[in-house]
């Protein structure tokens, strides 16, 4: 799933080499071993559809999700993100998405996230710099 060329291009901010299985396995092991990471497998009709996680970067809690192409445009990502957010008490909660990733932007906006900034950064999934949008879910906006 995380090696799908279309998904990698949409996500943009991916691993340097999405085909490096050893690096992926090491990353998953670090995620699973970090007590501060809330990691969930996303399913649809009993089958694997992706992953969603909350983790800490530079002191901020941040969400991330990756949905398999077969589950795109069906509300799977929005449902997964809303469930994840309901399990994470910390606010503000941040998220990032490539500006060209209309699907992820819509999921974040439908889940109550608000754009707070934009920047340009190198995106390994594209092999070049691209615009990234930073979102926040604030306490006043979600009732937490």
pLDDT tens, the chain, 144 aa long: 555 666 555 555 555 666 666 766 666 666 666 678 888 889 889 998 988 989 898 999 999 998 888 888 999 999 999 999 999 999 999 999 989 899 999 999 999 999 999 999 887 776 878 899 999 999 865 555
What pTM was estimated for this model as a whole?
0.80
Burial class of residue 80, CB neighbours in 10 A (0-12, 13-18, 19+): buried
**Domain 5-142 part of CATH 3.40.630.30:** yes
The C-alpha atoms of residue 18 and residue 13 are separated, in whole angstroms, by 11
Two tokens, residue 118: 């934009």
């Amino acid at each position: 799933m995380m090696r799908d060329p279309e998904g990698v291009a949409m996500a943009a901010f991916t691993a340097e080499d999405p085909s490096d299985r050893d690096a992926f396995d090491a990353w998953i092991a670090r995620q699973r071993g970090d007590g501060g990471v809330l990691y969930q497998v996303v399913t649809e009709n009993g089958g694997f559809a992706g992953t969603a996680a909350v983790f800490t970067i530079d002191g901020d809690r941040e969400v991330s999700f990756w949905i398999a192409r077969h589950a795109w445009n069906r509300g799977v990502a929005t449902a997964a993100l809303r469930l994840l957010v309901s399990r994470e008490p910390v606010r503000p909660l941040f998220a990032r998405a490539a500006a060209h990733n209309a699907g992820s932007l819509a999921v974040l906006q439908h889940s109550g996230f608000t754009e707070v900034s934009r920047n340009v950064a190198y995106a390994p999934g594209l092999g070049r710099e691209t615009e990234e949008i930073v979102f926040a879910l604030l306490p006043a906006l979600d009732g937490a």
